[in-house]
Structure 1
């Protein structure tokens, strides 16, 4: 039976390219796709794919938070992060929320298929470009605390939406919360991060890959 894969990337050309590449392998079937993390979580619950190929910087809900939710909703589904980000922090966050693989877009090619097979067989996969550098840094720095780790997953979701220009009312509607709750979360996360204005929040979100300029 073919390995069932869900593609998650906010760029249609990337999803189309991955579909062409992977379905040509013969043993991999693309069962769906999503353009943001929130839609990805919903489709995982519906389709229960074997493997999700996940970008990090996406609107609504980034790939790190989506991976966390997918790991909770469908533990058997494996997640391969496919991204342009090669920093220690991005790798650390991805692994800590349950991703089993991490691959860089610029070095992907047929390597994506190999990674999908490895994850499906129960293993893990790290991009050859980062295995000797970023992962070494990750292990050496495993006890360091990232500012993101002081935030709850709900606070991270709200931070992303605010950084993308959503108002408190819009964020509340998206997360099924009251506007007062969103304002409370926002005040709390600003206190934790020591940030006192919207510009600072947007800069922090960009630097830590919670959102992008796209």
Structure 2
């Protein structure tokens, strides 16, 4: 039996899912949650095999609920069942650990097939979500710091720059001359395609480049 927990703030949606899933001989609905907080609590209580998770819910959204569930129970699968297919919803859901992402207009029989495939170890993404992930991967591959990697020393300088330090302070921290720091900063601007220190710092924070290289 596949033990399922339904998490959705709309009563009609929960009822519809419950009614249909009860017709499946290999599926048992162990509980219903009206918000993310309840989803986490009921997951802890019933330890389902899979959670059908809505994205937008009161008290705690589906993203946060998924993170909390996966942190404590990595083996429990989460299938996002939502109305949104934009990157602001898809990417955080996948990053949170969702094994599947489907839209609510999915046919009931297809939903059951998706549940079974997820339980078999497959990741089941709606075509829109899959296409979005492909686009994001292409974008990441063409980011300036990927196309033009910073040297370890440039990473060190950028790390110090993000702390708001002046060239003199950076030179002192890294035991190099100010002229050397200026050269590194010029190279950093060129590689990251930014115009000033503020843009460089923002780029570094956005793309997790704030840590030093740890190279002596």
Q: TM-score range by the shorter chain?
A: 0.5 to 0.7
Question: In structure 2, the residue corresponding to 1:106 is in which secondary structure?
Answer: coil
Q: TM-score, normalised by structure 2?
A: 0.62
Residues 43, 69 of structure 2: 8 Å contact kept? yes
108 and 87 in structure 1: CA distance in 2 versus 1, 3 angstrom threshold: farther
Aligned to 1:42: 41
Q: Does 1:59 align with 2:58?
A: yes
Structure index of larger Rg: 2
Q: How many angstroms apart in 2 are the aligned matches of 1:27 and 1:102?
A: 21
Structure 1: gaps spanning 5 or more residues: 145-214
Of 134, 137, 162, 2:135 maps to 137
Instruction: Name the counterpart of 1:10.
Output: 9
Q: How much does 1:119 deviate?
A: 1.3
Q: How many positions carry a matched residue from both structures? A: 142
Q: TM-score, normalised by structure 1?
A: 0.62
Is the contact between residue 90 and residue 129 of structure 2 (CA under 8 Å) also seen in structure 1? no
For the Cα contact (< 8 Å) 1:4–1:29, is it kept in 2?
A: yes
Distance 1:141 1:36, change over 3 A: farther
Q: 1-side partners of 2:35 and 2:81: how far apart?
A: 14
| Contact persistence 2:7–2:51 (CA under 8 A) | yes
Secondary structure of 2:108 counterpart: coil
Q: Bigger CA drift: 122-131 or 6-15?
A: 122-131
**Do structure 1's residue 105 and structure 2's residue 104 form an aligned pair?**
yes
Measure, in 1, the Cα distance between the counterparts of 2:12 and 2:140.
Answer: 35
Name the SS for the 2:19 alignment partner.
helix
Describe the shift of the 1:136–1:108 C-alpha distance in structure 2 as closer, same or farther (beyond 3 A): farther
Moved over 4 A (4+): none
Question: Which residue number in structure 2 is paired with residue 80 of structure 1?
Answer: 79
RMSD of the TM alignment (CA)?
A: 1.6
Report the 3-state secondary structure (helix = DSSP H, G, I; strand = E; otherwise coil) of the residue aligned with 1:52. Answer: strand
In structure 2, distance between residues paired with 1:114 and 1:23:
15
Shift of 1:108: 4.1
* DSSP 3-state at the match of 1:61: coil
Contact 1:36–1:58 under 8 Å retained in 2: yes
Q: How does 1:149-164 map to 2 (within 5 A)?
A: none
Query: Partners of 1:99 and 1:5 in 2: how far apart?
Result: 15
The answer to whether the Cα contact below 8 Å between 1:92 and 1:138 also exists between their aligned partners in 2 is no
Distance 2:24 2:133 in 1: 29
The higher-RCO structure (CA 8 Å, 6+ apart) is 1
